[in-house]
Amino acid sequence: MDSMDAIKQTYFQECDELLASLEEGLLALEAGEGDNDTINAVFRAVHSVKGGAGAFGFEPMVAFAHVFETALDLMRSGKLDPDPDVLKILLRASDVLADHVQAAKGEGVVDDARARAMSEALEALTSPDQPRGALAPAALEAPVADQWGFTPLKFDLEDAAPAQAGWRLVLRPTAAMYANGHDALLFLRELGRLGECKVSLDASRLPDLAAINPEKPYLDWSVELPGETPESAIRDVFDFVGDDCPIELTRIEPAPPAPFLTPDIVKDVMAASTEPLEPSAPDKAGAGSDRANAKTATAGGATIRVDLERVDRMIDLVGELVINQAMLAQRVAESDLARSSTIAMGLDELEQLTREIQDSVMAIRAQPVKSVFQRMPRLVREIAGTTGKQVRLVMEGEGTEVDKTVIERLSDPITHMLRNAIDHGVESPEERIDAGKNEEGTVRLAALHRSGRIVIEVSDDGKGINRPRVREIAVKKGLIAPDENLTDDEIDNLIFLPGFSTASTVSNISGRGVGMDVVKRSIQALGGRIAISSQPGKGSAFTLSLPLTLAVLDGMVISAGEQTLVAPLTAIVESLRPKSAEVRRLGPTGAVLAVRGGHVPLIDIGVALGLRQTPIDPTAGVILLVESEGGGRAALVADEIQGQRQVVIKSLEANFQRVEGIAAATILGDGRVALILDVESIIEKRLNERRENAPLAKAS
Amino acid sequence: MTDGDIVNETFELISFRIDSQEFCLDIMAVREIRGWTVATPLPHSPSYVRGVINLRGAVLPILDLKARLGLGAAEPSARSVIIVVHIGKRLVGLLVDGVSEILAVDRSLIKPTPNVGCETVSRFVRGIVATEGRMISWVALDDILPAEEQVEAA
């Protein structure tokens, strides 16, 4: 059972990749960038998903993939134009196929009605090509589902039978031919070089599975070749097999009768048997495929799957190496060795190497954000569908690399921001036309690196933030005073306040009681920041920036109560040495700091962490002005600031447990463990201790 | 472990002294023994949690075993050692005064913990090893971390 499960897991992993390349291919076709290779790749993706699904007995998935595949096969053979309408259906079909895969994983359910509607839409795609001639009755016959819910799709292989003269060749391979190592596929390929062939398989001699003799040939092929092919050229193909493969070559005259009816199975077997032809087909390197080749080269480079734990272990080890190297360097510096001594020079080289190793190991975990981005087109299609809006998603910078741990956590915020952009930003087609815009809205999702951080931008060309409405809601909900004087930016930022939601009706898309405050909080938890800018009538843009990795953190190294601590730089708004006039006592123990017209509670870090009983005089220490979720601010009092440093984040939970007020630990250059402050929880605890009815801090 | 079947099963135990009492641990649980280094204290932790140290890049919590066993806080000196042990998937350091020896003890010498009406004893002493006129308490590690306690308290 275990090994079967393992195989299944591998199959699901492959499915995810195949579905991704399927969607990618369809999107490329939609953008008019695809060529035959793209169509082939798309077909193969569906075909492989179907193959595995059959092996594992996921019948509904097989049935659906089969219909899907049929449509793609028609496209492949040029009988179905990849026009935008067709592609829209195919893209939605790929969504349904993804649902099937999820369902097979046991992680979701397939909306039956939707799947059925999709199957019908796909079948409709394949039928208009049917000739309305003699075979029409057969084509119109409603497909009958068999006992497995497998809906056979009837289409006529001979529909495009040449009206002009041609050759019909019937191949009847013998057991001797296969025994001599020949392969019927090779002949078919050779014939393919002579001109466009129509190949049909005659599987009528194929017995029941139980009766099959593996050494006996059961399959015959019938090939139609164009009339201008010389007879000798056709016979030459079979020159070296002689009687092992008897052929019947007949000249066919124009307007032939339908040669023979092929059972449905034929098409299936054909699809399977023609597929291996493609990768090695001689004209593969032909015109127009360069681009696709280049693509496969990047996508299909030699890769291996590695357990993340192993990589993490390696990162840990390199972290130790860096610390060890720093300690060694310190010892050498302390000794009286000359800088030019071989030891000191060797140490310099070691330092170089260590840094390079560290960079390369971090690069192993770096992944392009594509894995998150590629899920978004579907989301946009679905939201656009439910809201009745027309939206085009433009994605940029999918290749931007960021640490895997960050990637995993990007998905939710991006999803939320896209939902917001479509639900609240983009107008309905009518509104857009009235406003003189294209009826199709554009939502842009971009990733880029900026000063050691990854920046994700989600922008739309919608109506922008309705500031009077935002203000009205904020006043109504008591978030701001009615007469409060706010700049446009400050109003825009109100949407990040907890409990704020502009949707007047709770739609099932973005307004679920949780709003942008949740997005902001989750991003801050990662050491990131989020900003918004908006222009009425022109659209709005969310910009979020995150550290490239969650393995290291930019921190302010401080000391409090004889301990060295690290405060995450992202939480710190500013640091200052207060003048005694700025520190005001409030109540028996409390104190506040007067800063720029506001009063911010003072929190002594040493006391908050239980490192000392009585707070130090704030004017003797340093104050870190920090901002917590929802913009709440506090002034943390430390003894002194030692400096700013990038530190490697070490989990406390791995060997111990969560400690209140502490986010994680790190190891400093002297080999000692230093704790990283959890600013949020320190402030929260403080506020809980003194439940003052303080107004919510101004969002700024 | 197959209980009772193997008569001559022996255990290797590592013994150490806390004040006048002798204690031991299953050597299979011990990963290494290292000298005492000053630990970084953890806020809001029970008194027997001395803090955390850097064990080759990993953050290792240090428990004062003496305090944990209710024998008062240890005063670490240059001779004190940290016994690094596996507890489940975690690595934890136990601060003790120093290790004495490694004992190979037959299973028959391990006796159940006598009931002395002390919760700490029944919780942290897995059994008693009686050998050469000595009595060595086998320390049970399963419950030694404060995790559950705090959850229950909260």
Backbone dihedral angles phi then psi of residue A477, each to the nearest 5 degrees: -90, 5
Q: Give dist(CA A18, CA A36) in Å, integer.
A: 18
Task: Mutation target for B interface from A562, A656, A668: give the one with most B CBs within 10 A.
Answer: A656
Angle (CA) A286-A291-A296 rounded to 5° is 100
- Say if A314 is an interface residue toward chain B (CB within 8 Å): no
> Cβ B58–A654 below 8 Å, yes or no?
yes
Q: What is the pLDDT of residue B8?
A: 64
- Say if B52 is an interface residue toward chain A (CB within 8 Å): yes
Angle (CA) A118-A122-A128 rounded to 5° is 140
Angle (CA) A450-A456-A461 rounded to 5° is 120
Our CA-based measurement puts residue B3 at a distance from the nearest CA of chain A, in whole angstroms, of 30
- The dihedral built from the CA positions of residue A107, A113, A114 and A116, taken in this order, carries a sign that is positive
Task: Mutation target for B interface from A312, A316, A657, A666: give the one with most B CBs within 10 A.
Answer: A657
Low-confidence ranges of chain B (pLDDT < 50): 1-6, 148-154
> Cβ A659–B44 below 8 Å, yes or no?
yes
Contact partners, residue A572, CB within 8 Å, separation at least 6: A556, A624, A625, A626
Backbone dihedral angles phi then psi of residue A316, each to the nearest 5 degrees: -60, -45
CB A193 within 8 A of CB A237: no
CB A152 within 8 A of CB A70: no
Q: Give dist(CA A222, CA A225) in Å, integer.
A: 10
Q: Give dist(CA B60, CA B77) in Å, integer.
A: 19
DSSP A251-274: EE-SSPPP--PPPHHHHHHHHHHH
Query: What b/e sequence results for A271-301 when a residue is b if at least 16 CB atoms lie within 10 Å of its CB, and e otherwise?
Result: bebbeeeeeeeeeeeeeebeebeebeeeeee
- Say if A660 is an interface residue toward chain B (CB within 8 Å): yes
> Cβ A661–B44 below 8 Å, yes or no?
yes
Backbone dihedral angles phi then psi of residue A690, each to the nearest 5 degrees: -120, 80
Segment (H or E) for B24: strand B21-26
Given the cut 0.90, state whether the ipTM is greater than it. Answer: no
- Average pLDDT per consecutive 10 residues, chain A (700 residues; last block may be shorter): 72 82 83 80 83 80 84 81 81 85 80 81 70 38 49 51 67 79 77 78 80 80 78 76 76 56 49 44 41 43 79 80 77 75 85 83 84 88 87 90 83 86 87 88 90 84 86 82 80 78 47 64 76 87 81 84 88 86 81 82 88 84 78 84 81 83 84 86 70 39
Secondary structure class of A354 (helix, strand, coil): helix
Token pair belonging to A593: 């700091």
B90-96, strands of its sheet edge to edge:
B30-35, B81-87, B90-96, B58-64, B49-55
Q: Give dist(CA A260, CA A277) in Å, integer.
A: 25
DSSP A632-682: -EEEEEESEEEEEEEEE-B-STTTS---TTEEEEEE-TTS-EEEEE-HHHH
Residue type at A245 in one-letter notation: C
> Cβ A316–B59 below 8 Å, yes or no?
no
A662-667, strands of its sheet edge to edge:
A640-648, A552-560, A563-568, A673-677, A662-667
Q: Give dist(CA A638, CA A620) in Å, integer.
A: 9
Q: What is the pLDDT of residue A700?
A: 35
Backbone dihedral angles phi then psi of residue B21, each to the nearest 5 degrees: -95, 150
Percent of chain B with pLDDT over 70: 90
Taking Cα atoms as reference points, which of A140, A133, A125 lies closest to residue A158?
A133
Our CA-based measurement puts residue A306 at a distance from the nearest CA of chain B, in whole angstroms, of 22
> Cβ A667–B54 below 8 Å, yes or no?
yes
Cβ count near A261 (within 10 Å): 12
A-B contacts (CB, under 8 Å): 78
Kindly list the residues from chain A whose CB atom is less than 8 angstroms away from the CB atom of residue B53.
Answer: 672-673
Backbone dihedral angles phi then psi of residue A155, each to the nearest 5 degrees: -145, 160
Which residue blocks in A275-341 are alpha helix, DSSP H? 277-280, 290-299, 308-334
CB B127 within 8 A of CB B41: no
Kindly list the residues from chain A whose CB atom is less than 8 angstroms away from the CB atom of residue B43.
Answer: 608-611, 659-662, 675
Taking Cα atoms as reference points, which of A188, A195, A140 lies closest to residue A162?
A195
- Residue A193 vs residues A69, A190, A629: alpha-carbon distances, Å: 26, 5, 68
Backbone dihedral angles phi then psi of residue B133, each to the nearest 5 degrees: 75, 5
B110-111, strands of its sheet edge to edge:
B99-106, B10-18, B21-26, B134-139, B125-131, B110-111
Q: Give dist(CA A25, CA A97) in Å, integer.
A: 15
Q: Which residue has the tokens 């959890």?
A: A678
